[in-house]
Amino acid sequence: MLVVQKYGGTSMGDCQRIQNVANRVMQTKRTGKSIVVVVSAMSGQTDTLIGWTKYFSKLPNEREVDMVLSSGERVTSALLAIALESMGQKAISLSGRGAGILTDNTHTKARIEHIDTKKITDLLLQDYIVVVSGFQGIGQNGEVTTLGRGGSDLSAVAIAGALKADLCEIYTDVDGVYTTDPRIEKKAKKIDRISYDEMLELASMGAKVLLNRSVELAKKWNVPLVTRSSFTQDQGTLITMEENIMEKPIVSGVALDKNQARVSIADVDDRPGIAAEIFGALADDNINVDMIVQTIGRDGRTDIDFTIPKTEEEQAKKVLEKFLNSVGSIDYDCEIAKVSIVGVGMKSHSGVASTAFKTLAKENINIMMISTSEIKVSMIIDLKYAELAVRTLHCAYELDK
């Protein structure tokens, strides 16, 4: 059996913690498994390194930036190999290049294209524990690249996929995925199993345990993922194919996103091509539009409401300026929140959405926008009721039971 274990920055935070990781890796090794470990830099280190590169220039050469940033993970991977060796275990660290992680040439946000597994496989056959520096690879031009912030998760999933590992364990400082943010609802429960699709919906809405790109990659390569804490023995949350989840809860979790703003365009000319013009202009400026609601036209006019990231509001105002003369008005509201319920069981149950609407109505919370997918119902509400909405929905679907 082959496992890939990834340890994040907090788990690798200092030498004592690296020793703790070494102990955990040995615990797994003693059960007879082959192990590849992927590590992050010590927590805060990547930020420190970025800061250094900006001391000299606002826009430092990205090739050099990648040379600097990739050092953080080289340090921790080598230290962990040293710790394992000192415990009498054969261990070796490999940089992204050494591990055969081939990427495109886009510095600071490269994409993994292929993994040449020969070296890792050879070393595993010789009973080495292979420790790979996460977050980095090697471009086709032979230059060191990095994968974008949080990229070590991607390294781990890609390596697990390429090696056809039985399991990819992502160790962080939280013990798994919860039915909602435990800081908002103390009764939130840890989820034992969840599907890739549910995880994608929950993560994109603020359940920040895993990088979305890594869940997508895991789904594509069908890598069973576990997120768990390196500080406890808790089993964590398994993220897997829907088929592997016997008991499908109707609602698995409630997610909250407070980073959206609403744009309302009133009295838009109701003619073919108008939506293409507005959203085309936003897309040209790389503004990420999320929910869109258009009302039924009356007297040749219609209203279009949509949401964008709060951070892109000023940019959107600029882009939409040119439409001001041809529409009634354009209003911006950043005092909103998006609350969503997510669950694969929704596919086969009716009345799930109406329960959510009734629940919010009972609290006198007005719903400004609604959007649904097969496994999700999202509602835009007033920001000041965000936490209340999360708690009452969590209770209404009995997620605390």
Backbone angles phi, psi at 174, to 5 degrees: -115, 150
The number of helices, as runs of H, and strands, as runs of E, in the chain is 11, 20
Instruction: Point out the residue whose Cβ comes nearest to Mg ion.
Output: 8
* Residue 37 or 365 having the CB closest to ligand ASP: 37
Q: Which does 139 bind (CB under 5 to 8 A by kind): Mg ion, ligand ASP, none?
A: none
Size of the site for Mg ion (CB under 5 A): 3
Nearest-approach distance from CB 170 to ligand ASP, in angstroms: 10
CA-based nearest residue to 37, from 227, 225, 226, 169: 169
* Residue 146 or 252 having the CB closest to Mg ion: 146
Name the one residue in this structure whose structure tokens are 């768990």.
Answer: 228
Strands (E) located in 157-300: 167-172, 193-195, 225-229, 237-240, 253-257, 260-269, 292-294
Q: Which does 144 bind (CB under 5 to 8 A by kind): Mg ion, ligand ASP, none?
A: none
Q: Does 134 bind Mg ion (CB under 5 A)?
A: no
Nearest-approach distance from CB 109 to ligand ASP, in angstroms: 11
Nearest-approach distance from CB 76 to ligand ASP, in angstroms: 9
Nearest-approach distance from CB 261 to ligand ASP, in angstroms: 26
Q: What share of the chain is helix, strand, coil (3-state, %, to 5)?
A: 35, 25, 35
Sheet holding 292-294, edge to edge: 292-294, 301-309, 260-269, 329-333
Residues that bind ligand ASP (CB under 6 A): 8-9, 40-41, 46, 72, 134-135, 149-153
Q: Which does 46 bind (CB under 5 to 8 A by kind): ligand ASP, Mg ion, none?
A: ligand ASP
Q: Which does 41 bind (CB under 5 to 8 A by kind): ligand ASP, Mg ion, none?
A: ligand ASP
- Binding pattern for the stretch 41-60 against Mg ion, x by CB under 5 A and - elsewhere: --------------------
* Residue 45 or 392 having the CB closest to ligand ASP: 45
> Quick count: other Cβ atoms within 10 Å of Cβ 25?
23
**8-state DSSP, 366:** P
Q: Which does 72 bind (CB under 5 to 8 A by kind): Mg ion, ligand ASP, none?
A: ligand ASP
Name the one residue in this structure whose structure tokens are 């890939």.
Answer: 4
Q: Which stretch binds Mg ion (CB under 5 A): 79-87, 146-154, 322-330, 339-347?
A: 146-154
CA-based nearest residue to 123, from 155, 95, 156, 99: 99
* Residue 152 or 195 having the CB closest to ligand ASP: 152
Q: Does 176 bind Mg ion (CB under 5 A)?
A: no
> Quick count: other Cβ atoms within 10 Å of Cβ 370?
14
* Residue 45 or 359 having the CB closest to Mg ion: 45
Q: How big is the CA angle at 261 (ends 258 and 266), to the nearest 5 degrees?
A: 150
Q: Does 8 bind Mg ion (CB under 5 A)?
A: yes
Q: Which does 93 bind (CB under 5 to 8 A by kind): Mg ion, ligand ASP, none?
A: none
Distances (CA, A) of 194 to 138, 225, 286: 33, 10, 32
* Residue 8 or 139 having the CB closest to Mg ion: 8
Distances (CA, A) of 171 to 156, 182, 223, 233, 320: 11, 19, 16, 11, 44
Residues near Mg ion (CB under 5 A) are 8, 40, 150
